[in-house]
Structure 1
Amino acid sequence: MNGKINNTLLGILKPDPTPFEVNDTDLKGFGLRVQPSGVMSYYVRYRLRGKQTRIVIGRTNEFTPAQARDAAKSMLAGINLGTNPLDDRQPVKETKTLGKFITNDFAPWVTTHRKAAVTNLARIRKNFEAQLDKPLAELNALTIEKWRQQRLNHPTHPAKATTVNRDLAALKAAISKAVEWGLLEQHPLAKVKPSKVDTDGIVRYLSDAERQALFAALTQRENTKRADRAKANSWRRERGYPELPNLDTQAFYDHLQPAIVLSLNTGLRQGELLSLSWTDVNLPAQQLSIKGINAKSGKTRHIPLNSDALTALKQWRQQSPESNVLVFPGAKGKKIVDVKTAWAKLLKQAGIESFRWHDMRHDFASRLVMAGVDLNTVRELLGHADLKMTLRYAHLAPEHKAAAVEKLVQTPT
């Protein structure tokens, strides 16, 4: 399009889905390029020695139209005398690669503003290693689509669609920041959609038999640990060594049983459970709080404690040192990383298969729904930001669907 490039024009120009240019009507060769992101840049287009060339003067947030026009006039005057303004330009800056952008620009920001920063940075660096040395501006949808197909169709270790979607989401979030910060004019992966997955897949929860087996295994573990401790103390007593603490005076051998009881009766994520401090627990009010800083949604929520959870926490509080900050601390009071080893041994002892620690959260939600609790209440207890996440449990309460289709039945008259 044509028009005089001035402040009035800048005020009315709106970005289109595709880039477009405005040719100045007063100064031939002077123009303005408008990107879909809204970024606008002044430029000079000229022909010298039979070759048409373009040189960018700068963005509209760096120069006023009048300043850009003066710069264009100066450049065009030199061109008429046979001088190429490109010869006087500063050396081209070092190309910013995806890897340099992630390390120098994105990592400091995401580490400050996102809880899952470490996980997502590792995800990007591991799964997009082949793209890290490529210029950021050369990243495109075709490259990522080929990457996706290679991951999904790997001959020996094909990735799950959900895993690939998480990897892709991490990269797209980083690239969104590159666009926001002006390093890219538009998002090259905007049209790359996540792979379709069955978000309402099978929800794993404990059967009544498995629940009995789990607690039987916990009881057996406690009895074994107590017997081992008694035997060890007998050996120490005979030899005059100081005895270890008597386990008969406390409810639990260690954190495993109360942590499991709390998880099954509150639906806490493992990260929320292991970050829980005693200041978050209000035993008289029979309630605990998950602070926003520890919640996946970033929002604080409050969860009532039923009698099982309350009893376990009271017993655990009684045997825990007053100096403990965390409810379930690790060595030297530090946060436990995970409980994979003890959990795996317990499941093996109970004969339970394909049941992750996180599945206790599904078990909590499933039992609530099967008991007739409405989905919105379940959503609030789980801390889901959107009801869509909670709908995966809807099939466990089919009564409302059965009642709906029953309305079609006509009673013979």
Structure 2
Amino acid sequence: MAKREKITISSIKALTVQDQRVNDTEVPGFHARISPAGKITYYLFYRINGKQVNYKLGIHGEVTPAQARDLAKAKAGEVANGIDVQAAKKQARKQTQLAKLTRLGTFLDEKYLPWLETRNSKTAERTVKTIKAGFPDLLGKQLSAINAWTIEKWRNEKRKTGVKPATINSYVNPLKGAMSRAVEWGLIESHDLNKVKALRTDNKVVRYLDKVEEASLLDTLRKRDARIKAERENGNLFRQQRGYPLLPELRDKHFADHLEPIVLLAMNTGMRRGELFSLRWENVNLVNDYLTVIADNAKSGKSRHIPLNHKAKQALIQWQQDTQGTGYVFEGEPGKPITDIKKGWIKVLTEAEIENFRFHDLRHHFASKLVMAGADLNTVRELLGHGNLEMTLRYAHLAPEHKAAAVNLIG
């Protein structure tokens, strides 16, 4: 049964579970409740706008009776002035949560990434990682504090250190997308990053292998294959002499591992790295000489068929014979696609003495050879899976005869 007396340390110590609560005799509405477990909490009871409210002041042990009384007086004064302190408390808590959510790092993890994963699960994590890698100093900032001047200053610093315009753009563009999404979701009213115009880049610079480099790359891959096979044979001889289990023989395999067939396929199909890694045998038609990049694995979101020339088909036939594969063409862990070839690829480039050449440039190499052989740009566009012809026009300068033919039409 409730007691009625001034709330003091003594009255709180004397409070029992049977008492349930004690109502203060000096401050109207100020009371303390005890739970069945013995936990004592201080409250202020008040009425406002036709409703009854119990406002939590604190837990005994964290606040003293005197502190709870002072807080009760202060809150009662606010109520007398027409303020619903409970509603104000909830609003303040909401603002605190919103402030946390509108920090860039939290927004990326808790809002933007889950949304991206529903749109394109393959690129979602990479997009967020790109933003975090580019702007680590902004992750703790409020979205509303990130403005065009912030990014212009960051961009100028990057340019001074020699970072290429294309690389800078690759960081800024995803950040713009995230900020625009925050506006659409009502987390911030607006942003002005659209004032940060993309830096000019020379998209017409295309890196492809000349004949000497191509021959060197293929020769290095073959030598690497032979070396791995020899090392396996010597290793098994060593193991046999000591009674250790032998590793699978490579002597009769066409390829020692996945690297050479991946490179050959990239050079002769123009497929992106992700498309190669996710390729499955059911999407390879060796009877009719083509493979299919399915929509889920294509950057454009559209499937496309790529004819297989002799080199590409031969590499796939031999690799299938080597692996007896039925799932992913290039398997990493059992049942999963390979995820990285960077280490082996860099070693091959170093040994072949090929500089300033990325794995993605094998795609440029494929397209460049097609154009130089006389293929029309629209065909190249379809084979590469470009969304529009503008992306393919970077290869146009490799076919100067079409310009001469056009001029001769009026000569």
Measured against the shorter chain, the TM-score band is 0.7 to 0.9
Is 1:315 equivalent to 2:321 in the alignment?
no
Q: Name 2:113's counterpart in structure 1.
A: 107
Q: Name 1:245's counterpart in structure 2.
A: 248
Query: Structure 2: which amino acid aligns with 1:186?
Result: S
Q: Name 2:365's counterpart in structure 1.
A: 363
Assess if the C-alpha contact under 8 Å between 2:293 and 2:305 holds in 1. yes
Q: Name 2:176's counterpart in structure 1.
A: 172
TM-score (norm 2): 0.72
Query: Structure 2: which amino acid aligns with 1:300?
Result: S
State which of 139, 142, 149 in structure 1 corresponds to 2:156: 149
Q: Name 1:223's counterpart in structure 2.
A: 226
State which of 199, 202, 207 in structure 1 corresponds to 2:203: 199
Q: Name 2:134's counterpart in structure 1.
A: 127
Cα distance 1:408–1:84, how it changes in 2: closer, same or farther (>3 A)? farther
1:14-413 alignment runs, 5 A limit? 90=88, 91-92=91-92, 93-94=95-96, 95=99, 96-114=102-120, 115-153=122-160, 157-201=161-205, 203-238=206-241, 242-322=245-325, 324-407=326-409, 409=411
Q: Distance in 2 between matches of 1:389 and 1:86?
A: 60
Cα distance 1:164–1:86, how it changes in 2: closer, same or farther (>3 A)? farther
State the shift of 1:292 in Å: 1.8
SS at match of 2:291: strand
Q: Distance in 2 between matches of 1:333 and 1:339?
A: 18
Q: Distance in 2 between matches of 1:391 and 1:304?
A: 22
Q: Distance in 2 between matches of 1:226 and 1:100?
A: 50
State the shift of 1:295 in Å: 1.5
Structure 2: unaligned runs, 5 residues or longer: 1-80
Assess if the C-alpha contact under 8 Å between 2:233 and 2:251 holds in 1. no
Q: Distance in 1 between matches of 2:148 and 2:355?
A: 40
Q: Distance in 2 between matches of 1:284 and 1:208?
A: 31
SS at match of 2:387: coil
Q: Distance in 2 between matches of 1:223 and 1:131?
A: 50
Query: How many positions carry a matched residue from both structures?
Result: 323
Structure 1: unaligned runs, 5 residues or longer: 1-82
Q: Distance in 1 between matches of 2:267 and 2:401?
A: 25
| Structure 1 range deviating more: 399-408 or 269-278 | 399-408
State the shift of 1:143 in Å: 2.1
Q: Distance in 2 between matches of 1:330 and 1:200?
A: 35
> Residue deviations 1:29-74, cap 9 Å, x none?
xxxxxxxxxxxxxxxxxxxxxxxxxxxxxxxxxxxxxxxxxxxxxx
SS at match of 1:332: coil
Cα distance 1:152–1:307, how it changes in 2: closer, same or farther (>3 A)? same
Cα distance 1:349–1:88, how it changes in 2: closer, same or farther (>3 A)? closer
| Structure 1 range deviating more: 228-237 or 175-184 | 228-237
SS at match of 1:402: helix
Q: Distance in 2 between matches of 1:311 and 1:230?
A: 25
Assess if the C-alpha contact under 8 Å between 2:131 and 2:171 holds in 1. yes
State the shift of 1:245 in Å: 3.2
Q: Distance in 1 between matches of 2:181 and 2:229?
A: 55
Assess if the C-alpha contact under 8 Å between 2:144 and 2:191 holds in 1. no
TM-score (norm 1): 0.72
> Identity across aligned pairs (percent)?
48
Query: Structure 2: which amino acid aligns with 1:382?
Result: L
State the shift of 1:384 in Å: 0.8
Assess if the C-alpha contact under 8 Å between 2:165 and 2:200 holds in 1. yes
**RMSD of aligned alpha carbons:** 2.4
Q: Distance in 1 between matches of 2:221 and 2:279?
A: 22
Q: Distance in 2 between matches of 1:319 and 1:372?
A: 35
Q: Distance in 2 between matches of 1:200 and 1:88?
A: 63
Cα distance 1:99–1:220, how it changes in 2: closer, same or farther (>3 A)? closer
Assess if the C-alpha contact under 8 Å between 2:306 and 2:383 holds in 1. yes
Q: Distance in 2 between matches of 1:354 and 1:285?
A: 36
Cα distance 1:408–1:237, how it changes in 2: closer, same or farther (>3 A)? same
Cα distance 1:104–1:397, how it changes in 2: closer, same or farther (>3 A)? same
Q: Distance in 2 between matches of 1:86 and 1:172?
A: 40
Cα distance 1:403–1:245, how it changes in 2: closer, same or farther (>3 A)? same
Q: Distance in 1 between matches of 2:405 and 2:144?
A: 56
> Residue deviations 1:240-262, cap 9 Å, x none?
55544333322111111111111
| Structure 1 range deviating more: 211-220 or 254-263 | 211-220
Query: Structure 1: which amino acid aligns with 2:174?
Result: A
Q: Name 1:62's counterpart in structure 2.
A: none
Q: Distance in 2 between matches of 1:366 and 1:257?
A: 21
SS at match of 2:194: coil
